[in-house]
Amino acid sequence: MLTPIAYGLAIVLNLFVVVIGARFLLAPHSAAAGYGVPARPGGDGAYLTIKGLRDLSYGVLGLVLLAFAGAQAEAWFMLVVALLPLGDTVIVLRHGGTRAAAFGIHFATAVVVLISAALLFAL
């Protein structure tokens, strides 16, 4: 019973990150607003591209690890990757974003990623 939940949550989280990355590449300004720190009109192109590529790459890497290296490797990956939304929480707070976005989106994501890691470690 635990295996499908652990794998399912890991797959959903990785696919979600792929979608976020693709959104930053395809609709960067709306993605930045959803992130919690809107991009300046006509600016921030590098930030938006880096964010998109980072997220897209991490999502694909997570799927590859899960498929080819197994639950333990994915668990360690998720544990490390949880640092990213924790950092995003701080970034949003330091750059004028709302506490709701910082904690409701980014911190909550870190918690879910840590839960995913714990479930994968339990397999």
Residue 33 pLDDT > 80: yes
Rounded CA separation 59/45 (Å): 21
In the chain, the number of structural domains is 1
**Helix runs in the chain, H state only:** 2-26, 28-35, 45-68, 71-81, 83-94, 99-101, 108-121
Full domain range(s) for residue 13: 2-121
Give the pair of three-digit tokens for residue 69: 């290296």
**CB-CB contact of 91 with 59 (8 Å):** no
Q: Which residue has the tokens 């950092």?
A: 87
State the number of CA atoms in the 13 A half-sphere of 68 facing the CB. 6
pLDDT band at 41 (very low <50, low <70, confident <90, very high): confident
Return the pLDDT at 118: 98
The predicted pLDDT at position 43 comes to 76
pLDDT digits (tens, 9 = 90+) for 69-117: 999 999 999 999 999 999 999 999 999 999 999 999 999 999 999 999 9
